[in-house]
Amino acid sequence: MTTKEMAGTQVELDNDGHLKDFKTWNENIAPELAKEEGIDALTDRHWAVINFMRKEYEATQTAPTMRKITKQSGVGTKEFYELFPKGPARKAAKIGGLPKPKGCI
């Protein structure tokens, strides 16, 4: 575990770089996490996925599956991969302050 300052907030990260407590996340932290993942700017479409994932996590305490994201968020599979290249579910969860989704390597 590591403690790091992001957007003026001290956050704890797990060994994979995900926030330990999703409640410490805020919208100012997301762009910093995105840059670490090679995403320079978050668009409205990125935010659609991030907000969907956070809402689902709050309801179920589990990060949604890729299938659920692409079927219910309004962002299709191809676009999801374009928004979050090379591991979209993991990257989107990390940027959204969520734990690594189950099944992600």
Alpha-carbon dihedral sign for residues 81, 52, 55, 67: negative
Cβ neighbours of residue 8 closer than 8 Å, sequence gap 6 or more: 28
Q: Answer yes or no: 102 catalytic.
A: no
User: Phi and psi at residue 10, in whole multiples of 5°?
Assistant: -80, 125
Alpha-carbon distance values, 77 to 30, 36, 100 (Å): 22, 23, 19
Identity of the residue numbered 27 = E
| The one catalytic residue among 86, 102, 104, 105 | 104
Q: Which residues have a catalytic role annotated?
A: 104
